[in-house]
Amino acid sequence: MRCPRCVDVELSEVQRYGVLVDVCPSCGGIWLDKGELSKIIEAVKRAESSLDEELRVITREHPDLYRKYEEYKYKKKRKSIFGELFDIFD
């Protein structure tokens, strides 16, 4: 498939979170087929819930370490939902 933006450049397929997405090597454009974005969002949600479960175990065993993590998490600048979502392609 050719890049809709560059026209003469062939897209390459890259696997992210179990989904094949089309990436243009020239302009860096990311092209998703129908349903691929929702699959990626679901995979990210599963990964976050798995991390939350691991953090619960750490909380029980090392409450001071978890408290430091929480302080760090809320101090860093929050991005928009789209900014966070597209960080997965970096």
**pLDDT digit string (tens) for 46-75?**
888 887 777 777 777 777 777 777 777 666
- Return the pLDDT at 77: 56
The reply to whether 7 falls in a domain is no
Given this model, what pLDDT does residue 10 score? 92
How far does Cα 70 stand from its chain's mean position? 21
pTM, to two decimals: 0.54
Query: Has residue 20 been placed in a domain?
Result: yes
**What residue numbers bound the domain in which 78 lies?**
12-89
Q: Which position has the token pair 């087929």?
A: 33
In a domain, 75, yes or no: yes
User: Quick check: is 3 in a domain?
Assistant: no
pLDDT computed for residue 29 by the predictor: 87
Residue 54 included in any domain? yes
**Domain for residue 81, yes or no?**
yes
Q: How many structural domains comprise the chain? A: 1
Domain assignment present for 5: no
Closest CA to 29 of 9, 5, 8, 10: 5
Q: Do the domain assignments include residue 79? A: yes
- The yes-or-no verdict on residue 19 having pLDDT over 70 is yes
60 vs 89, residue with greater confidence: 60
